[in-house]
Structure 1
Amino acid sequence: MSKNILFIGENSGSKWILVMLIATCLSISCTETPEVPKQEVSTLATITEPVKRDYAEIKNTGILRVITSYSSSTYFLHRGIQAGFEYELIKNFAKEHELALEVIIIGENENPYDLLNSGEGDLIAASYTITEERKEVVDFTRPYNLVDQIIVLSEELDQEPESITDMSSIPITVRRNSSYYVKLKELQDEGFDLTINVVSDDMDTEALLFQVANGTYSATVADDNFFQASNKYMDGLVKGPMIAENDTIAWAVRKNAPDLITKFNKYLYKHFRFNNEGVPKRSAFLNVLRKKYFEGSTPVADYFTPDIEVQRFGGISPYDSLLQTVASEFDLDWVMLTSIAAQESKFDPNSESWAGAVGIMQVLPRFSEIPLESLYDPEINIREGARILKEQMDHYSYMDSTSQWQFALATYNAGPGHVADARRLAIDHNDDPNEWESVSKALLRLMQRKYYQHARYGFCRGIETVRYVNEITNRSNTYEAILALSQSRNDSYPGVLGFKTIN
């Protein structure tokens, strides 16, 4: 089951550093083998009847679900904060349409097209090239990027091929369900002498590039912008011949969601279109993203560094160890505690809110016996925040764990008085005061005069509290998904390095 996360309006500042939870999956069963047969059946999707969830249904729920991969060019975590070209592009759409955004990470052995058609997500935003085979199972939006497909070679090779005709003695390793495989097969059919080695679809492009860099494979194929980013933090890669020019990149959507595609196309047209001469024109926003992640003098990849001493994968934030220790002391979920810290302060110990809350957990000094100056200490602040949360969790101890967290988070954000008002209002509407869905609706009602004028604690910014709870809960789910994916890959491929953040 794919885990997901909700993000609204987050950025990690001017300096971006990747916390790479990249499993460079050593495919022990996929050695370099002869060319696969030409006649093969597509394995893109097993679900052929997509669920019905168009823009109206999405707008009704208020949540847009994006399926993406965990990589430096799509979506990643930097010190617990969300980043990535695809993430920022779709996040901006969600913001414009007043939708919450859930990010669903493609896990090991998960089929993105099945995740889409089963309703787990509403679009795939993972830098996918439009291909005829993919169009059989999904519809694509208008393009928002053009890329060239290039051969990427290992620096250990003693050859420097200048064109595709020089590649006859160099095996090229790609995934079967990739646009790169499709292009290589087309070149073979045109008469080019190529050896294609097929590996598991669990290995993403970044993992393959890493294995080319360390000499496990001789060559692979990647989009030029992907290579540009990866080459900044992977030693041992050499740019080879181009095999496809100006391939179109787009989002994939269910075939029965025409209104959603229309919305996406209208949005993307503002940021990428062709003039009368066929020259692509990009918006200032899109150019900023391209420079930020691929092209700038200090693109995001400049801050990546492989570190042979770092523990493999497993990291979320700069305070993982401390959060784990404190969570254990108070019998709390450390991943949830980490998600709260990301929401409250983006892990900034000097953070201050307009309401006077301070530190990583945004503790209000008036509700704490600890001196104000001490609350800027990360350990003291996290421990005090955990203590307050534990009290609130205990208050709802008669609920199941999920509900406990939802109500405790609402109380942490809005205060016990407003939550109590919302529960009473839920009862007035014959709703269950112990169900978060019912109480979240009541919190929204407390923004209306006809309701809050009769409430004991008056007006409540209910929409902020509902978003707060949903964002933290879903972010925690995605953190869990990333950790599970990392552990799974590490168990399967021991000894493979992850990447570490640098200051």
Structure 2
Amino acid sequence: MPPKFIKILLFLIFPALILIGCSESDPVINDIRSQGKLIVLTRNAPTTYYLGADDAPAGFEYDLSMALADSLNVEVEYKIYDKIEDILAAINNGEGHLVAAGLTHTDSRAVNHIFGPSYKSVQQQVVCHRAGRLPKGTEDLLTRSILIIAESSYQETLKELQKDYPKLNWETTSELSTEQVLEKIVNKEVDCTVIDSNIFTLNRRYFPALITAFPISEQQNLAWVLPPDAEFFQQYVSDWFVKIEKNSLLSIIKERYYGYADIFDYYNNHVFLKRIKSRLPKYESAFRQYAEQYQVPWTLLAAQSYQESGWNAKARSHTGVRGLMMLTQTTAKAMGIKKRIDPLQSIKGGAKYLNYMLKRVPEDVADADRVWFALAAYNVGFAHMLDARKLARELGKSPSTWHDMREILPLLSQKKYYKNLKYGYARGSEPVKYIDRIRYYQDVLVHVLVSNS
């Protein structure tokens, strides 16, 4: 038997061997095995678990917990909770196998709960409306109204600060979600709140009127919460996190949700939200029609069109590309499009061309990344994608994941790399920026659609 095959076989059966060895002495692992499923307790939020495009489950915690379940070779059941106190009580009462809800590992929580390893660092931030005078420090909060989530780590931080600032006051809520609290600030019903940096990073796209005033804590770590008496399961989870850090799976999931979040621009975001209302309705039915015909998500097609033209049917660039999808004459002709500035023809041509690129994506590319490879080829050309894959192999990177390819593509503009490639120089950073913006626009669009529904 070839050594490589033996390694793969051991990689696949290793989790099962651990489960068999530990099940007799660990009630959690034994319960997972007997039920054939991992029960995950979580919250409905952009950083944890939500229904995304086409009503498919998504979220950082969703992807991470699904990967854990895959390693255990079991199914997953998700239980959604609204309140932090309820979800922490539920795990201690045996209602699930882990809490994957973006909770910080704090000293006070560690007294009554078992935590797994940390997987992301965050910092608590004071968030306020960008209009008006922003608080610069804790003393400025004494004259501000503050609303935070009850039983949160934010409450712990404010209580600690209250020792030095006795007049510091705030209100808590168990009924409102973080997004609802942010809406109150947007509507100027409340001055400020405190939330983790990762939560604000994702939510500022939806609430561009908000801004970080100042950090109010040191760096803290997010971690899963495990049931009591889960010693062996805790060790399994710890070993699993070590493995996914080594094989880049953790980095891939982080990139999937946070990799494009930093491109936030207040003005551009504001314009995009306005154009969802003013321009998108004219073309939405066409996006839906041709997206269905050519088997791509319509929100992705609409986001790509916005990145290309800002939903301007008469858009033209200095290179001669035109229309909603900014097609070249060559591409339009190949796709059977006669009039590029005709909205329906342009959308059809763009959808058809994206579908064409999707079919050319090599089979070894991960399913979740195939559309990003296709969009990169749409932007920079399929030949340069082949060069990038070749270079990835030479540099010990994966040619099959977008996580690695987004690092490799910019190298195509460096002479020491492109001089040895078949198709030569390319502005490889462009497709990376192109896809980041499309992902950004699609995410905001889906959020608006879900909120409106």
TM value normalised by structure 2: 0.51
User: Which has a greater percent of helix?
Assistant: 2
Is the counterpart of residue 71 in structure 1 residue 45 in structure 2?
yes
Q: Name which of 258, 263, 272 aligns with 1:294.
A: 258
| Conservation of the 8 A alpha-carbon contact between 2:117 and 2:241 | yes
Indicate the residue corresponding to 1:269 in structure 2: 242
2:100 counterpart SS class: strand
Map 1:230-269; keep pairs closer than 5 Å: 230-269=203-242
How far apart in 1 are the matches of 2:51 and 2:217?
A: 31
Map 1:245-394; keep pairs closer than 5 Å: 245-271=218-244, 284-296=248-260
| Conservation of the 8 A alpha-carbon contact between 1:154 and 1:237 | yes
| Conservation of the 8 A alpha-carbon contact between 2:84 and 2:151 | no
2:170 counterpart SS class: strand
Superposition deviation, residue 298 in structure 1: 8.0
Superposition deviation, residue 95 in structure 1: 0.7
2:76 counterpart SS class: strand
Is the counterpart of residue 173 in structure 1 residue 147 in structure 2?
yes
Is the counterpart of residue 139 in structure 1 residue 114 in structure 2?
yes
| Structure-2 change in CA distance of 1:164 and 1:57 (3 Å) | same
Indicate the residue corresponding to 2:165 in structure 1: 192
Letter in 1 for 2:120: N
Superposition deviation, residue 188 in structure 1: 1.3
Indicate the residue corresponding to 1:103 in structure 2: 78
| Structure-2 change in CA distance of 1:264 and 1:303 (3 Å) | farther
| Conservation of the 8 A alpha-carbon contact between 1:307 and 1:499 | no
1:226 counterpart SS class: helix
Is the counterpart of residue 500 in structure 1 residue 445 in structure 2?
no
| Structure-2 change in CA distance of 1:107 and 1:188 (3 Å) | closer
Letter in 1 for 2:45: S
Unaligned 5+ residue runs, structure 2?
A: 1-25, 278-283, 285-290, 296-446
- Could you give the per-residue CA deviations for residues 7-29 of structure 1, whole angstroms, max 9, x where no partner exists? xxxxxxxxxxxxxxxxxxxxxxx
Map 1:29-108; keep pairs closer than 5 Å: 53-78=27-52, 79-107=54-82
What is the count of residue pairs matched by the alignment?
A: 261
| Structure-2 change in CA distance of 1:75 and 1:297 (3 Å) | closer
| Conservation of the 8 A alpha-carbon contact between 1:146 and 1:246 | yes
How far apart in 2 are the matches of 1:81 and 1:300?
A: 25
How far apart in 1 are the matches of 2:244 and 2:274?
A: 37
Letter in 1 for 2:67: N
Superposition deviation, residue 306 in structure 1: 7.1
Indicate the residue corresponding to 2:365 in structure 1: none
| Conservation of the 8 A alpha-carbon contact between 1:55 and 1:260 | yes
How far apart in 2 are the matches of 1:248 and 1:225?
A: 11
How far apart in 1 are the matches of 2:189 and 2:165?
A: 24
How far apart in 2 are the matches of 1:288 and 1:309?
A: 30
Letter in 1 for 2:116: T
How far apart in 2 are the matches of 1:300 and 1:166?
A: 27
| Conservation of the 8 A alpha-carbon contact between 1:154 and 1:218 | yes
Superposition deviation, residue 299 in structure 1: 7.8
Quick one: higher RCO (CA 8 Å, sep 6+), 1 or 2? 1
How far apart in 1 are the matches of 2:275 and 2:66?
A: 34
Superposition deviation, residue 118 in structure 1: 3.0
Superposition deviation, residue 57 in structure 1: 1.8
Superposition deviation, residue 308 in structure 1: 13
| Conservation of the 8 A alpha-carbon contact between 2:122 and 2:198 | yes
Indicate the residue corresponding to 1:358 in structure 2: none
| Conservation of the 8 A alpha-carbon contact between 1:124 and 1:252 | yes
2:112 counterpart SS class: coil
| Structure-2 change in CA distance of 1:108 and 1:134 (3 Å) | closer
| Conservation of the 8 A alpha-carbon contact between 2:44 and 2:81 | yes
Superposition deviation, residue 171 in structure 1: 2.6
Superposition deviation, residue 300 in structure 1: 11
- Could you give the per-residue CA deviations for residues 138-185 of structure 1, whole angstroms, max 9, x where no partner exists? 2101111110111001234x2222222332211321133000000111
Indicate the residue corresponding to 1:277 in structure 2: none
How far apart in 2 are the matches of 1:85 and 1:93?
A: 13
Is the counterpart of residue 124 in structure 1 residue 99 in structure 2?
yes
Q: Name which of 65, 84, 90 aligns with 1:115.
A: 90
How far apart in 2 are the matches of 1:181 and 1:110?
A: 12
Q: Name which of 183, 186, 195 aligns with 1:210.
A: 183
1:149 counterpart SS class: strand
| Conservation of the 8 A alpha-carbon contact between 2:42 and 2:49 | yes
Amino-acid identity (%): 24
Superposed CA RMSD: 3.5
Unaligned 5+ residue runs, structure 1?
A: 1-51, 273-281, 311-317, 319-346, 352-497
| Structure-2 change in CA distance of 1:501 and 1:200 (3 Å) | closer
Is the counterpart of residue 160 in structure 1 residue 134 in structure 2?
yes
